[in-house]
Amino acid sequence: MDERTPLLNNGPASTSNARLYLAVFSAVLGNFNFGYSLVYPSPVIPYLQVEENPNLRMNTTYIAWFGSVFSLGAAAGGLGAMLLNDMIGRKISIMISGVPCSVGYLLMAAAQTRWMLYLGRILTGFASGITAAAIPVYVSEISSPRVRGVLGSFAQVSVVVGSLSLYVLGLLLPWRWLAVAGELPALLMLVLLCFMPKSPRYLISKGRQEEALKALEWLRGRDANFIAELKNIEKSISSQGNISWSDLAMPYYYKPIVISVIMWLLQQMTGITPILVYLEPIFHRTKVTLEPRYDAALVALVRLLSVMIAASLMDRAGRKRLLFTSGFLMFLACQALTIYTHTTPCPSINITHSQLHTPFSILQSHGVQQSPPFDPITVIPLLSTMVIIFGYAMGWGPITWLLMSEILPLGARGKAPGLCVGISWVTAFILTQVFMHVVEAYGLFVPFLFFSVVAVISILFTALYVPETKGRSLEEIENYFRTGRTFTINDN
């Protein structure tokens, strides 16, 4: 301190992101539920195949419905979010999703017949569809540009953590207790979100500037320059107005919407949902030497590590580079699995109740020895599946969520995510429903050949149509689609 030190510091203030991180954590608990619910059938199917209650026992047809009805519920939830996001706001939409999620898990925990399991899956899917449409938008709108890439990827990180938790608990708990455990994150999310602010952009769009100012102050810290950020948001919103059907003919609206829809469509067509839902049955069929339920947990761990790597690189490597890497890895791995499953017999496997927890419990009558010696070639499907999951989690998993929340104009940010999620999950339902039937009829190589073709299409689409949004504010990204040529905003 000397006579040249100013008494008042008017320089750039340092901001703390602690409250912002807390708000994001509270929201992405909904994604944790999503990941947990999505893969719930994987460790449960072996139990239901040998269930003593005939009203719960499942064959291939019942298993296909048990795995796929989740996607129908998610599609309905995504379409419902088209209304909820604009009507009651992003935060309240996320909170509402906790109700069907909790009811769905209660139904599955107490199930005495198959329809209770199906209805539970539909309700947890409906909740997941709402969160998939609302959480990325909420997180994007409360985040600052400097950390939006990292925080946006948290949505996918929490999905992966949810799936990993399910696989790990599946090693320890019976299938009914897995449903009971699914209640806890939903209840915690409801409690925490009661204390979090609503989206400032949503509040401004509803004319509630005072609440938006308080929300920004809470999120950014009292010393941050949140007044300037508020003015930029107000300016962006005032230049848009309300979206009408005629506005959709303008490139400013239809281009980002079409890009988002196609990205969600391609994300599902890579086969990620049927692979995750039927992970243990796939390992049973490919004769992996390790026990399938441990393989599934190992793959989930790899998925978590890869999505954490992607989160750390999101604001450094950029979105497009990660999408290219993701598509290329998935293509190579799907090709390897196609060749392996086409050249190696993969018989149908029937598991008895006494064999459920016996390593390598495969019937002799199907031509496979119990406790087979280690065969190096059986590592191929395990490693290939890991690479598929690693590649997906590096790019097409988190970036699809993030880019949708970044490139959509504010006027379409309430409705368009629901449309994206709805189309995505209708596609997931079709793939998950037909997957096991195609495998029974033709073998595993057919779906994996299809997934490898989709990976090539995803690489071409990224190169031609996906913009690089790294380090850009939401207002700059909107300006890019408005002008068709530049991110820079002209104040005049």
99 close to 193: Cβ distance less than 8 angstroms = no
pLDDT at residue 95, as a whole number:
93
pTM: 0.70
pLDDT at residue 291, as a whole number:
66
pLDDT confidence tier of residue 369, bands split at 50, 70 and 90: very low
- Give 7-21 pLDDT, tens digit per residue: 344 334 444 578 888
pLDDT at residue 29, as a whole number:
92
**Bigger pLDDT: 354 or 444?**
444
**Bigger pLDDT: 17 or 37?**
37
DSSP 273: H
**Residue 386 token pair:** 């890991």
- Give 416-456 pLDDT, tens digit per residue: 777 787 888 888 888 888 888 888 888 888 899 999 999 99
**Residues ≥6 apart with Cβ < 8 Å to 444:** 282, 285, 286, 337, 341, 346
- Give 162-188 pLDDT, tens digit per residue: 988 888 888 888 889 999 999 999 999
Mean pLDDT of all residues in 267-274:
88
Distance CA 23, CA 217 (A): 13
Tell me which residue of 256, 190, 246 sits closest to 417, measured CA to CA: 256
- Give 106-134 pLDDT, tens digit per residue: 999 999 999 999 999 999 999 998 988 88
Distance CA 182, CA 123 (A): 13
Residue 491 has a CB neighbour count (10 Å cut-off) of 4
Mean pLDDT of all residues in 239-244:
59
**Bigger pLDDT: 234 or 448?**
448
Instruction: Please report, as a single letter, which amino acid is at residue 60.
Output: T
pLDDT at residue 364, as a whole number:
33
**For residue 367, is pLDDT > 50?**
no
Phi and psi torsions of 82, nearest 5°: -60, -35
Number of Cα atoms under 13 Å in the Cβ half of residue 10 = 2
Distance CA 332, CA 455 (A): 9
**Residue 347 token pair:** 């018989």
Distance CA 48, CA 46 (A): 6
**For residue 5, is pLDDT > 70?**
no
Distance CA 489, CA 476 (A): 6
SS3 labels along 429-461: HHHHHHHHHHHHHHCCHHHHHHHHHHHHHHHHH
List the CATH code of the domain at 19-196+247-483: 1.20.1250.20
Mean pLDDT across the chain, nearest whole number? 79
137 close to 200: Cβ distance less than 8 angstroms = no
